[in-house]
């Protein structure tokens, strides 16, 4: 039997392609700032709050005559970021001045990279199989913070953040939806945190995102006029602001109107975007190489060394966990945060019921600690009796072993033996420490 279709119930046919490009800023977790020796952590007052302007010097406050000296670790961590995304690393990199006037940066220029960034290209693959290409990852300094005090009608400046090293990850306009943008950002966050180069906590402003959105008639090659949404600092804000922009731009195009190229701001209370200013163009900034600094040479052997030192990333752990028999869903959640991955791995050293451990971690609302999981699993108490463990390890050593293996392999070998002897009850940290002391005594 034929059924009549009520057209009003059908979803509207999609008329436009959505085109999105992201610019992601992440603070690197170096000890000192990028061009001076000030600490990146400000001093704390007696209530535990950061003291404004407590970590500043003539360089990061831009006093006349002060000269920048590049922090090697900021370069190194930017290269590591590039290696996490399969970027090419430039053999020579140069810092440029990006000129603009705003009181959060008293030099009236930001030291950034335009023409020879540290990293080029690279990509991220999404779960739907689509590949998001990166244009570049460059290194730059952060600006200070302005605090608007409405009661006294004044603006205060805190320079602590001035000179904190940032990376900026710029994508090609390859993203097609709010959900893809959010997945991309989660993957970026995960790679940066697993690589140990940024804490990337969006709620603390350690990772911030500008979103560029445009529409074009389906199939058209030429991109439409874009709108830039500034400084979104949560995944939710990124998704909501994109959804709102798609609706707003669709309505304008449907009315035959043009999209104004502009910078817009997300109003989280009203859940709308509002116009901020006309979009500036690159030539407004009059970029030029910073004459205070030399070009930086990055030899292939140095890049190779950093590549070798790259720790396991979330993708590697995903494969491991699938091999342990966990589902893709479990695996995805257990590798979102480095802390959670570590907690899972630590707990697995003491009990082999991986699925049960995974369930406890995944289903708990509050972040768990190792001890709470042990309690929930009804583990036998961990053996932290140093004298007893030393005795056990001594006996294992006395039985003899092949001494020609690298130390890491030897430690693993003895860990296995101790766990066997104690039925997995030995405290792994303590066991490792005692094994090490036995091995280095020799």
Closest by CA to 143, choosing from 156, 157, 155, 161, is: 161
DSSP 273: E
CA angle 93/42/107 to nearest 5° reads 50
By CB under 6 A, the residues from 117 to 136 that bind ligand ADP are: none
Closest distance of CB 293 from ligand ADP, Å: 22
Tokens of 178: 């709010």
By CB under 5 A, the residues from 4 to 43 that bind Zn ion are: 36, 38
Binding piece for Mg ion, criterion CB under 5 A, among 17-25, 32-40, 54-62, 131-139: 17-25
Dihedral sign for Cα atoms in the order 71, 76, 79, 85 = negative
| DSSP track, 314-330 | HHHHHHHHHHTT--HHH
B/e letters for 328-352, b = 16+ CB within 10 Å, e = fewer, are: eebbbbbbbbbebbebbeebeebbe
- Toward Zn ion, which CB reaches closer, 75 or 237? 75
Among 214, 241, 347, 383, binds ligand ADP (CB under 6 A): 214
Among 29, 32, 171, 382, binds ligand ADP (CB under 6 A): 171
Q: Is 57 in the site for Zn ion (CB under 5 A)?
A: yes
Binding piece for ligand ADP, criterion CB under 6 A, among 114-122, 151-159, 170-178, 410-418: 170-178
- Toward ligand ADP, which CB reaches closer, 285 or 302? 285
SS3 of residue 263 by DSSP: strand
B/e letters for 23-53, b = 16+ CB within 10 Å, e = fewer, are: bbbbbbbbebbbbbebebebeeeeeeeeebe
Q: Is 143 in the site for Zn ion (CB under 5 A)?
A: no
Closest distance of CB 201 from Zn ion, Å: 23
Q: Report phi then psi at 226, rounded to 5.
A: -105, 155
By CB under 6 A, the residues from 264 to 303 that bind ligand ADP are: 282
Closest distance of CB 263 from Mg ion, Å: 8
Q: Which does 223 bind (CB under 5 to 8 A by kind): ligand ADP, Mg ion, Zn ion, none?
A: ligand ADP
Can you give the binding site for Zn ion, defined by CB under 5 A?
Answer: 36, 38, 57, 59-60
Interface positions with ligand ADP (CB under 6 A):
19-23, 170-173, 212-214, 223-224, 226, 228, 282
């Amino acid at each position: 039997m034929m059924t009549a279709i009520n057209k009003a119930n059908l979803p509207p046919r999609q008329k436009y392609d959505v085109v999105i490009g992201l610019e992601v800023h992440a603070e690197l977790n170096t000890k000192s700032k990028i061009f001076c020796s000030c600490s990146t952590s400000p001093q704390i007052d007696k209530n535990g709050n950061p003291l404004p302007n407590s970590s500043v010097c003539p360089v990061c406050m831009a006093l006349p005559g002060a000269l920048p000296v590049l922090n090697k670790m900021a370069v190194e961590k930017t290269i590591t970021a590039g290696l996490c995304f399969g970027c090419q690393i430039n053999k020579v990199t140069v810092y440029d001045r990006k000129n603009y006037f705003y009181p959060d940066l008293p030099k009236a220029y930001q030291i950034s990279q335009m023409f020879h960034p540290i990293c080029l290209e690279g990509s991220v693959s999404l779960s739907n199989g689509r590949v998001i290409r990166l244009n570049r990852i460059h290194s730059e300094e952060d600006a200070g913070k302005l605090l608007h005090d409405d009661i006294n009608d004044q603006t205060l400046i805190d320079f602590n953040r001035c000179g904190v090293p940032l990376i900026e990850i710029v994508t090609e306009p390859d993203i097609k939806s709010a959900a893809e943008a959010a997945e991309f950002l989660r993957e970026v966050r995960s790679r940066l945190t697993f690589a140990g180069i940024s804490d990337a906590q969006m709620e603390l402003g350690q990772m911030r995102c500008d979103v560029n959105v445009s529409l074009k008639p389906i199939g058209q090659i030429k991109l439409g006029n874009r709108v830039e949404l500034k400084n979104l600092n949560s995944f939710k804000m990124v998704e909501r602001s994109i959804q709102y922009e798609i609706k707003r731009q669709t309505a304008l195009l449907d009315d035959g109107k043009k999209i104004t190229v502009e910078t817009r701001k997300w109003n989280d209370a009203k859940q709308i975007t509002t116009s901020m200013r006309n979009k500036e163009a690159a030539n407004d900034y009059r970029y030029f190489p910073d004459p205070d600094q030399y070009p930086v040479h990055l030899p292939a052997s140095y890049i190779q060394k950093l590549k070798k030192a790259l720790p396991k990333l979330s993708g590697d752990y995903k494969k491991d966990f699938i091999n342990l028999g966990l589902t893709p869903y479990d695996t995805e959640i257990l590798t979102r945060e480095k802390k959670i991955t570590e907690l899972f791995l630590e707990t697995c050293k003491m009990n082999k019921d991986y699925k049960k451990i995974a369930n406890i971690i995944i289903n708990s609302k509050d972040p768990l600690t190792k001890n709470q999981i042990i309690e929930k699993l009804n583990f036998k108490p961990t053996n932290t009796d140093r004298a007893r463990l030393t005795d056990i390890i001594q006996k294992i050593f006395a039985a003899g072993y092949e001494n020609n293996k690298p130390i890491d392999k030897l430690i693993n070998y003895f860990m296995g033996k101790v766990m066997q002897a104690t039925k997995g009850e030995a405290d792994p940290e303590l066991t490792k420490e005692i094994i090490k002391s036995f091995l280095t005594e020799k």
